[in-house]
Copies of this chain bind each other. A is one copy, B any other.
Amino acid sequence: MAASYTHLRVDITDGIALVTLDRPEVYNATNDVLHGELTRIWRDLDADPAVRVIVVTGAGDRAFSAGGDLGDIEARAALPAEERFEAVVRVMKEAEAIVYEMVNCEKVIISAINGVAVGAGLAVALMADISIIAEEARLTDGHARLGVAAGDHAAIIWPLLCGMAKAKYYLLTCDFIDGREAERIGLVSRCVPRAELMPEAMRIARQLADGPQHALRFTKKALNQWLRLGGITAFDYSLALEMLGFFSAAPAEGARAIQEKRPPRWG
């Protein structure tokens, strides 16, 4: 299976699949290829009898995944109308798939958030069933900076993680949240010193891989009804609204501003 992935490294050992987002030269940002791979990996691992538990992390020391490639966003904005429409529909479908494939994956997924997580990277980090973060790692949803609605995963789970007041604050302001604060407000399961991150994630993975699989999977399955409820009310809608925003001028300006390290001019 590993053969079929370009930007994901997949190591399966003794029931644990370690999935590494592997574009360290760009902070493991998701380009079109990686974005697509993140829609397929969960179902592949779910079908693999050698896998009991999944751990996902980012390659290198600095990043879990720094969001989407800004170049891809600009390129999409520059497409002729009909191609742009098709491209946006494809992105919508993929963003939906990343979230729901993680929700519907029977096996427990643990994220080890080793560094900055933004955009689709944050979606993977927080849609994991168990999320362990390094103290100094920093998170932000990032959509508002780009000029589109927070549609990648936030609406399905943030109100059930950190409550509505914190959720709206961080999703609207795009302030960064460090590991300790993320744990304090409930956005992640646990926060540990960086050196302990992978050992702790692997220790939990080991415990769960040695545990009663049906019991664990049924527990996940039942708890996830809350997420499915958030899906049909808030998330699917948020995603369609985000996509709508790609037909405004905002995301091209947002992407340029981030690249040029200047404040955006939203007009």
Contact = CB atoms under 8 A, between A and B. Distances in A.
Interface of A: 81-82, 84-85, 88-89, 92-93, 106, 108, 126, 129-131, 143-144, 146-151, 154-155, 157-169, 171-173, 185-190, 204, 207-208, 210-216, 218-223, 225-238, 240-245, 247-250, 254, 263-264, 266
Contact of A248 (B85, B93, B190, B236): B85
B222 A159 contact: no
B238 A218 contact: yes
Contacts of A81: 247, 249
A215 B82 contact: no
B161 A161 contact: no
Given A213-B266, A218-B245, A164 B227 contact: yes
6 contacts: A82-B248, A129-B172, A169-B190, A221-B241, A222-B241, A225-B232
A159 B215 contact: no
A168 B109 CA distance: 11
Contacts of A93: 106
A233 to B, nearest CB: 4
A180 to B, nearest CB: 13
Nearest to A157: B164
A187 B165 CA distance: 7
Q: Which 10 A-B pairs have the closest CB atoms?
A: A222-B238, A149-B218, A240-B240, A163-B186, A169-B189, A218-B241, A225-B234, A147-B212, A225-B233, A165-B189
Contacts of A167: 223
Given A168-B130, A243-B244, A226 B162 contact: no
Given A149-B219, A208-B173, A241-B218, A160 B155 contact: no
Contacts of A147: 212, 215
A159 B264 contact: no
Contacts of A148: 212, 215, 218
Contacts of A162: 163, 186
Given A144-B212, A172-B219, 8 more contacts: A81-B249, A85-B249, A88-B247, A150-B215, A155-B223, A159-B226, A185-B186, A228-B233
A85 B85 CA distance: 13
Contacts of A207: 173
Contacts of A230: 226
Contact of A215 (B143, B208, B220): B143
A223 B130 contact: no
